[in-house]
Structure 1
Amino acid sequence: MKKDSIKLESFNGLKTYLISKASTDDKGNFKLQYSSADYGVGYLISSDNKPLFVILNGEDIEIKGVALGLPETIKILKGKENQWFEQYAKEQPKREQALNAWLYLEKLYKADSLFFLQTKPQKAIKEEKQRIKDEEQAFIDSLPIDSYVKWFLPIRKLVSTVSIIAQYRTEEIPNTIRAFRELDYSDVRLYKSGLFKEAIDNHFWLLENSGKPLDLAYDEMKISIDSMFINLVSDEKIFNEVTDHLFDLLERHSLFKASEYLALKILNENSCTLEADLAKQLETYRTMAKGNIAPDIVFNENTFFPAVKVDKLSDISNEYVIVVFGASWCPKCQEEVPNIAKLYDKWNQSGVEVVLVSLDENKDSFHEFVKDFPFISTCDYQKWDGKIVNDYYVFSTPTMFLLDGDRKIVLRPNSVKQMDAWVDWYLKK
């Protein structure tokens, strides 16, 4: 039999790490070790890269099967918690399938005139649904109170059924959101479970896709943010890890009201110290908030003036100025900034000037990038360390700030499309 390499890996919050590795012998046997520091969920993985998840609670585990990537062939010979985990993993999908089938029939019997008068089937469906739920709960209740798997299984179900609940079991949305809010993100069991990232992502995905208007969804997100950080202030490392991930998640989904709320909440939290890069990202929402006065920009010798030359941003006489931070090495900027150039005449005729602050690092790249742009372009070749970038707390490109004639921040457009819509709506003649 061909030898294979087997690794045992586990989770630390958003990251994974290697616990140990070994090679199989001629008969396919292998032995791996783990310690109490690895308490939680781990996974065995071979050359086929298909993991087999195991509970690492200190017990000896013995498994037998054809291949790790074929879970249907795997049998847990030793390790009580892993045997319970295996049993649940085999039985619960069948219960979920049956429950979804009964839910479909229940809706059919309630909504279709052909069936809604049939009360006996409706009663039987309701009873069978409850029996399935009771059966699952009875299994969970039968597990020892101090077992890891007793805690883990309900959390695993919570994060894995979100999309089904959002689509087919919408009546369960309020209770599901409540369950997410009750999670303790400082709990080492969650941190080591492999569910840490999913719990954050699926929680806010459900809030975003719960069917509520976006303004109401934002209100719900604020409540969820508050509930998440109640316990996180007790662990500075996890506090920073969750903040960084959640802020990035909200930004990527263009949920800017929620990311602004998170930023201001964290910046006002005095019991934990923020990592420097994260603090810079969040500070932009406080210092560069709508209504604040943006710093002036002094144009250096590395500035292109296609029309009238000015010494600084405050010398521009237009009613509005949009300051755009971008770079030739930024793929999104290569798409968005040329689109600004195409819209420049329209915007300029409506009273908007454009200033591009490039984060390029050398003269040739900068000149090649901006040579055909019809607006002011400047660069100090210091990338993220430049004075303008730091004055505006820029942490990603492209970033845009719309300023009025007094340099008051009017809008932080998240795209050229949004900026163009603002011009059409507010400056139409």
Structure 2
Amino acid sequence: MKKIYILSAVLAAFSLQAQFTVTVQAPAEFKDKDAILYTLNGSKDIIVTKEQNKNNTWTFKYPSHYMGMMKVYFPDSNNAVSFISENKNISVKLDVQNNKIKDVAYLDEANDLMSRQQEGSQKKELILPALAQIKEYYKDNTDFGKALKIEIERLSGTNNTIDASKHPFISYYNTNYSKFLSNSTDPAKKVTPDDIVNFLDKSNDMLESSSLLRPVLVSYLNSGGNTNVAGSVDTLLDRLKVETPRGQTVLSELIDIFDAYDMEEFKTKYLTLAKNLKCTINDRLATTLKSNANVEMGATFPNVKFQSAANTSAKSLYDVKADKKIIVFWSSTCSHCESELPKLLEKYNELKAKNIQIVGLSLDTDKASYTQKIAAFPWINDSELRGWNSSYVDTYNVHATPTYFILDANNKIINKPDHVGNVLEYFKLK
């Protein structure tokens, strides 16, 4: 029994040591009360906890070891601030104007360093080419020419080496971003598909929390060209083993990539592979399977509880009674929506005469823009005004706007049109 007590004490001590705090400060005029802390798994934000404003400060206690990207999201105003964790206390101060985040001050060492490096990288990418052109017009022996030369040399510097023992996540991120995603034209730095497979196989857990996983996977698919996508994916999954947590996370990301790029053949193949797995499924893959199951042909479309719906007294989608319903996910800032929704508007009266109801669910963030746009649309419109942070995204597997579904009177999915032309063709109105 004594040994058990000793072990418990050691575990308790480790737990206390691993815990860190995230503190976000805001000016008194910032109106939000609630804030949500997220970690990252692949390309998916994972909710950790929700806290309320206390003296213009939100304090989150993270109970375990974590290195990677994090963010705090303010749902009332749709503001978000991103930062990194190196398993140490994090402190962020917000500058706010009209209840929108104007600037962020990172007060802890790791985030201050990461912020300065990101700013330097942006300057190097955007400003350095312009300075190089300007330099041709100024001699090195002039005051401006000398200053210009110094600035070019500073921005051109490659001394971004980080002590990995002091800043392990920043070192990991910089090293692998530079190697796999920097688009270097130097032949000596060109990576092969095998290099990427080895990285995805051997990398530590920071891969999933770094935000690098999806872009590296896209780079891997592009490196093999379009001739043998399935062969490249099979090679990768064979190495990773889809029964492992990493293999499942990569499989989930690939399914979402194929979905986003309308590569239906490959999405179907690897979604079927995921469905047929007999092992325990991790949370990341389970989310992808659930999102896809929600919107399969013949599935009952999950109900939508309306926030503040226009042109209806219904409280939810299921309260809307019609022989058929057209669901469209859209946004006022979406160029394709700008061209497609007016065509739906032209046929609205004919659809309504057939007892077909249109329900628009917007992924807008700006209330004024959304309100102005729906004034022209007589159908039911609603929005959470949270953009891609909306619950619609995961629930209905939305990867682009506009996205359409056609439901029968019992809210079963009977068609998934690609474009507005397919919608009108289905109802013989084209």
Shorter-chain TM-score range: 0.3 to 0.5
**Higher relative strand content:** 2
**Higher relative helix content:** 1
TM-score of the superposition, structure 1-length normalised?
0.46
